[in-house]
């Protein structure tokens, strides 16, 4: 039995009674959020999916869940000093096999804890394909960024009020099962809820998608809180106009007002990242950047990660290992697939499939900033 796993498991058990102090039925106060954050190490990690999965369904379904691959890749993350990963779940997995899904989440947590990693689990996601289907997933489209990722809930469930009971059962079933589990860092209740996927699936989206999401988002926060989690809830603002003083949209306002800790996405230049951090600090909540690092857009480890450490902002980049998601291709690959030529630089990702870094200097920097040395 691995000594690291024993240590992490003992710590989780010791913290369990203490975590009950944070069990919530309403939004945490500023003081409670600060107290929780002060107990954490500086949080650094990646948005994670194993290289052999094209989306969250392929990652988690019983026939394709690959614990050995996850163990290997999280070992690479541990070697860099990473201590968290952001991991997407899906409502259809609960509908398909709730007991098996919980067992696989528990197995994932066992593996992650051995590597001293506590994940942020994402419950819902408005990005990419609005028509998810269980079972065998299609292969990657050559040269296209994230060509198989699917939304949760899909458009059909989002449009159908009769499916709210099923979605509530999923949220409360998953959160309730791990509400007092010290191996879970936080819950991201909805990724980019207002995203309408311009340039990819926009023509397939419900015409009133934002209105539908606006009605459902506060319910999702409420459902999760009714499970009394000891971990904080959040939903990351991703397109807020923080420079021009434009009022937040209704969805952005809900995200900011309902989150225990504020999470956000920023793929801009370092000066833009810094300005957003200074803007969000006005809300007096811990800050978690749950998406950054797009080399071609000006967001790099070299410039952004030191700023995140300076401001004590948790930093979770997209993504980790270059695999079936193909997010090393840029966003514009949806209009111009990179079939005959490779992009001049990788857009996302840190490692090749064999664990070799895309840039040795980046991995060295991550190790240095997280205290892992060389």
Positions in the chain whose pLDDT score sits under 50? 1-18
Q: Return the CATH number at 49.
A: 3.20.20.80
The 3-class SS string of 179-208 reads: CCCCCCCEEEEEECCCCCCCCCCHHHCCCC
| Residue 329 DSSP symbol | S
Asked if 50 and 59 touch (Cβ cutoff 8 Å), the reply is yes
Closest CA to 132 of 154, 116, 113, 111: 154
Rounded CA separation 324/183 (Å): 27
Residues paired with residue 124 on neighbouring β-strands, in sequence order: 190
Closest CA to 284 of 254, 249, 260: 260
pLDDT in the model for residue 353: 97
The strand order across the sheet containing 233-234 reads: 233-234, 186-191, 120-125, 84-88, 44-47, 314-318, 287-291, 262-265
70: containing domain: 3-370
For residue range 280-314, list pLDDT tens digits in order.
999 999 999 999 999 999 999 999 999 999 999 99
Domain count, the chain: 1
**DSSP three-state, residue 124:** strand
| Residue 132 DSSP symbol | -
pLDDT in the model for residue 7: 43
190-222 burial, b at 16+ Cβ within 10 Å, e below that, comes to bbbbbbbbeebbeeebeeebbebbbebbeebbe
| Residue 20 DSSP symbol | G
pLDDT in the model for residue 115: 98
């Amino acid at each position: 039995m691995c000594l690291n796993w024993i240590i992490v498991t003992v710590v989780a058990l010791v913290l369990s009674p203490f975590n009950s102090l944070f069990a919530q039925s309403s939004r945490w106060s500023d003081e409670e959020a600060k107290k929780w954050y002060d107990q954490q190490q500086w949080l650094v990690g990646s948005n994670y999916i194993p290289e052999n999965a094209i989306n969250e369904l392929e990652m988690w379904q019983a026939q394709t869940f690959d614990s050995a691959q996850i163990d290997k890749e999280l070992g690479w993350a541990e070697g860099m000093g990473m201590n968290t990963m952001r991991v997407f779940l899906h409502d259809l997995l609960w509908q398909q096999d709730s007991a098996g899904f919980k067992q696989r989440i528990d197995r994932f947590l066992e593996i992650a804890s051995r590597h001293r990693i506590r994940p942020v689990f994402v419950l819902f996601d408005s990005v990419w394909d609005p028509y998810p289907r269980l079972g065998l997933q299609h292969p990657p489209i050559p040269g296209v960024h994230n060509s198989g990722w699917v939304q949760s809930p899909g458009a059909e469930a989002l449009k159908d009020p009769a499916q709210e009971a099923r979605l509530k059962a999923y949220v409360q079933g998953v959160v309730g099962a791990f509400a007092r589990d010290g191996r879970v860092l936080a819950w991201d209740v909805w990724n980019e809820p207002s995203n309408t996927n311009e340039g990819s699936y926009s023509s397939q989206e419900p015409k009133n998608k934002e209105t539908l999401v606006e009605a459902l988002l506060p319910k999702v926060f409420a459902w999760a809180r009714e499970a009394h989690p000891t971990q904080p809830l959040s939903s990351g603002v991703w397109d807020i106009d923080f420079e021009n003083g434009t009022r937040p949209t209704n969805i952005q306002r809900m995200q900011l007002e309902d989150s225990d800790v504020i999470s956000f996405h920023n793929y801009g230049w370092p000066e833009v990242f810094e300005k957003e951090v200074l803007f969000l600090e006005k809300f007096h909540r811990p800050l978690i950047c749950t998406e950054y690092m797009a080399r071609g857009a000006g967001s790099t480890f070299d410039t952004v990660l030191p700023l995140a450490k300076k401001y004590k902002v948790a930093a979770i980049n997209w993504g980790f290992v270059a695999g079936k998601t193909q997010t090393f291709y840029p966003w514009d690959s949806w209009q111009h697939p990179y079939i005959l030529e490779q992009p001049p630089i990788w857009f996302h990702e840190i490692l090749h499939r064999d664990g070799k870094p895309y840039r040795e200097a980046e991995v060295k920097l991550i190790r240095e900033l997280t205290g892992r040395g060389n």
